[in-house]
Amino acid sequence: MKKKSIVLLLVFTLLLSMLAGCSTTEEPVTPEEPVVEEPVTGGKPTSPTGQLTIGNTTELSGDWVPYWQNNAADYDIYNFITALSTVDITFGGEYVVNDAAVEKYETTLNEDGSKTYTWTIKDGLVYDDGTPITAKDYVASVLLWSSSVVGEMGASNDYGYYLKGWKDYSSGATKEFAGVNLIDDKTFSVTIAAENIPYFFELTLASIAPTKLSFWTDETVEVKDDGNGAYLSENFTKENFEERINLARREVPRPSTGPYVLKSYDEAAKTAVLEVNPNFPGDYTGQKPLIQTVIYKKVNQETAFDELSTGSVDLISGTVGGDEINAGLDLVEKGGFSYTAYPRSGYGKIMFQCDHGPTQFVEVRQAIAHLLDRNDFAKAFTGGFGSVVNGPYGESMWFYQETKAELNQKLNQYPYSLEAAKELLDQAGFNLDANGNPYESGIRYKRMDDGTLMPLILEWASTEQNAVSDLLVIKLQENPDLAAAGIKINQTVMTFTELLNYLYRDATQGAKYGVPTFHMFNLATNYNPVYDLSTTYTTDPDMFAQGYNTNFILDEELDRLAKEMVKVDPEDRETFKQKFVEFTVRWNYLLPDLPLYSNIYHDFYNDKLKDYEINSLIEISKAILYSYVTE
């Protein structure tokens, strides 16, 4: 009897699985499929309708605020549910006052050099649940996310970093945040610290979005202002609210000010479902969402296009690999699918450290540039879906676009040339052989001031399982012309963490890391619309020692130009562009990095998605806001 029961149980389990698997030949019903308010037959709807599933290869972590982590997928969700900031961004990556949230604003230049933005918000702003949004909610953002309470919990409490009094407030030295004032229910002000003025992207420093404080704490915590700056009531302590804040980070549903509300999150499937926020007043142009439901789903790189072709997802964003793009283009060719291509705002690069060994000489860096056919490299690595840049910019940046003609004239393209490389190396003094005789063949040497001979051997640190490194071995390290020029490159493969130790020369991780060892690293860099490289090439000794300037390039002019570029009045676009050109020309001459390739991103989607436009300067939430679907 017992045996029969076991056999029956096994057979039942087997059948159950097969039945559940095989009998569902039709798509599972989704009872909560949004009700189509009006039939859409290909035209643009006037109210939200339909559903869009976005496939992304980055996994959601479920922490919906960007203060404890910087996961790109979580940040996408954050942007879907967070808006009504005082400042918005255009499709071109420029910052503008958000007319949907701001009724009026005024700026005052104070005697101490600081600048105050006084914002008056519009009437009728509400959260998705109908709770009114007042000036207190805006002030709460700065106070909460700059507070020492969240700082001690491991959050980056830098929300009001550029505002007056941040340092004292964020460290808990003062109760009040001197640079933030609550004026009345509709009005508040923020004061940008004098040292940050002028700043070309100044508007971003005064950009504040509302936060529902009661969600993060409880009804007892209040925003107050006695005239010395706004502050949170004294019961806001780590002891009282650490547990609540940690819970709130992941809570769903949660208050939304953005075009969508986070309806559900499936931790096991890593899938988030967003429904339209009926109370969203629109972005700075008044644009409201036209897609009722957005689903954000994790996909694998290997099967992403199978998901697209079978309808499991409707959109795959940011495809970069040549094989993947070709798979997507095959789908487009078959019909029923489209794509949008746009340049990356950044590039893959060889990064030189410029204070030791042969790469301390600009001619050596330039010679390397001449010995690598970068067009060929970019084509091989990106499968033909990439380009080469000659400076620290992305091709989609408005200031690059507006100065492109001038830059093309002024920037050295470093075309492939063995002769040019040899000439540069001779100029740099690498014109001797190992015995100190005039160079004829083998590795070049240079006689240093102390009489020793420096060999032209470059130590290269690269990470394991890195396709760029593999291609660099073929195109550069094993290039016969490199040896013909008298250069030798030694590659050392290591983990990314170890590479960072060498990059930052972090002696705290081991004495060997503190010693300058590697001359070049292959890495990548991306730029955001706030193009600020003022600390990247710093010559300040303290910052230099702490690894801010990972190129270790001590060039006063480059440092000055990087700082001057952003120390420009926000209205003065022409000066900014002029400084950008000057900086880029200097950079192009010094070559602290050698850009290798800049990808052309491809977003593939099925034909039900319409009006989808995106570039690398805006978030996907913005692109979806202007799109719609036809069923």
Least distance between other proteins and beta carbon 54 (Å):
10
What is d(CA 509, CA 325) in angstroms, rounded to the nearest whole number? 40
- Cα(623)–Cα(625) distance, integer angstroms: 5
Dihedral of CA atoms 357, 358, 363, 365 in degrees, nearest 10, equals -90
Q: 413, 495, 526, 528: which one contacts other proteins (CB under 8 A)? A: 495
Of 14-22, 233-241, 400-408, 576-584, the window that binds other proteins (rule: CB under 8 A) is 14-22
Distance, in Å, from the CA atom of 448 to the CA atom of 494, rounded to the nearest integer, reads 31
Q: Does 293 bind other proteins (CB under 8 A)?
A: yes
Give the amino acid at 515.
V
Query: Which segment (118-126, 334-342, 520-528, 533-541) binds other proteins by CB under 8 A?
Result: 533-541
Q: Which of 456, 460, 454 is nearest to 486 (CA)?
A: 456
Does 21 contact other proteins by CB under 8 A?
yes
156 is a site residue for other proteins (CB under 8 A): yes
Residue 510 sits in the site that holds other proteins (CB under 8 A): yes
Residue 399: partners with Cβ closer than 8 Å, 6 or more residues away: 393, 531, 573, 576, 577, 580
- Residue closer to other proteins, measured from CB, 173 or 484: 173
Tell whether residue 511 is a contact of other proteins (CB under 8 A): no
Q: Where are the alpha helices (DSSP H) in 393-462?
A: 398-401, 404-410, 418-427
Radius of gyration (Cα) for the chain, nearest Å? 28
Residue 152 contacts other proteins per CB under 8 A: yes
Does 267 engage in binding with other proteins (CB under 8 A)? yes
Q: Which is nearer to other proteins, 30 or 437 (CB)?
A: 30
Question: In this structure, are residues 527 and 343 in contact, taking their beta carbons and an 8 Å threshold?
Answer: no
Q: Which is nearer to other proteins, 307 or 355 (CB)?
A: 307
Q: Which is nearer to other proteins, 197 or 456 (CB)?
A: 197
Work out whether 299 is an interface residue with other proteins (CB under 8 A): yes
Tell me if 297 contacts other proteins by CB under 8 A.
yes
Give the integer Cα–Cα distance in Å for 372 and 596. Answer: 9
Does 242 help bind other proteins (rule: CB under 8 A)? Answer: no
Nearer CB in complex with other proteins: 11/109: 11
Burial class of 111 by CB neighbour count within 10 A (0 to 12, 13 to 18, 19+): exposed
Sign of the dihedral defined by the CA atoms of residues 210, 216, 220, 223, in that order: negative
Contact call for residue 554 and other proteins (CB under 8 A): no
Does residue 207 interact with other proteins by CB under 8 A? no
Query: Is residue 298 part of the contact set for other proteins (CB under 8 A)?
Result: yes
Least separation, in Å, of the C-beta of 473 and other proteins?
23
- Residue 506 is a binding residue for other proteins (CB under 8 A): yes
Residue 567 three-state SS: coil
181 vs 116: CA distance, rounded Å: 10
User: By CB under 8 A, is residue 17 in contact with other proteins?
Assistant: yes
61 in contact with other proteins (CB under 8 A): yes
Binds other proteins (CB under 8 A): choice among 528, 547, 572, 631: 547
Chain-centre distance for alpha carbon 360: 30
154 forms part of the interface with other proteins (CB under 8 A): yes
DSSP helix/strand/coil, 448: coil
How many helical (H) and strand (E) elements, i.e. helices and strands, does the chain have?
Answer: 22, 24
Near other proteins by CB under 8 A: residue from 5, 25, 409, 452: 25
For other proteins, the closer CB: 122 or 298: 298
Question: Contact letters (x/-) for other proteins, 454-483, by CB under 8 A?
Answer: ------------------------------
d(CA 293, CA 549): 44
Lookup: tokens for 283: 């972005």
Among 106, 129, 306, 607, binds other proteins (CB under 8 A): 306
* Residues 455/514, Cβ–Cβ less than 8 Å: no
Indicate the burial class of 383 (C-beta count within 10 angstroms; 0-12, 13-18, 19 or more): middle
- β-strands 230-232, 346-352: how paired? unpaired
> From the CB of 117, what's the least distance to other proteins, in Å?
20
Q: What residues have CB less than 8 Å from 111, skipping those under 6 apart? A: none
When binding is defined by CB under 8 A, the residue of 126, 248, 295, 327 that contacts other proteins is 295
Q: Which of residues 31-50 bind other proteins (CB under 8 A)?
A: 31-33
Give the whole-angstrom CA distance, residue 121 versus residue 92.
Answer: 25
Q: How far apart are CA 244 and CA 148, in angstroms?
A: 16
Binding region for other proteins (CB under 8 A) out of 81-89, 122-130, 156-164, 351-359: 156-164
Nearer to other proteins, 213 or 294 (CB): 294
Q: Which stretch binds other proteins (CB under 8 A): 233-241, 500-508, 554-562, 615-623?
A: 500-508
CA distances from 248 to 215, 241, 254, 321 (A): 7, 10, 8, 37
Q: In angstroms, what is the minimal distance from the CB of 531 to other proteins?
A: 12
Decide whether 37 or 402 has the Cβ nearer to other proteins. Answer: 37
509 binds other proteins (CB under 8 A): yes
Q: List the Cα angle 27/30/35 in 5-degree steps.
A: 125
Other CB atoms within 10 Å distance of the CB of residue 160: 26
CB of 203 to other proteins, least distance (A): 17
Nearer to other proteins, 24 or 228 (CB): 24
Least distance (Å) between residue 565 CB and other proteins: 15
Contact residue for other proteins among 1, 2, 4, 20 (CB under 8 A) = 20
Query: Does the footprint of other proteins cover residue 303 (CB under 8 A)?
Result: yes
Q: Which of 464, 463, 487 minimizes the C-alpha distance to 369?
A: 487
**Closer CB to other proteins, residue 285 or residue 517?**
517
Residue 330 lies near other proteins (rule: CB under 8 A): no
How many chain residues touch other proteins (CB under 8 A)? 82
Residues 527/535, Cβ–Cβ less than 8 Å: no
Subset of 67-126 contacting other proteins (CB under 8 A): 68-70
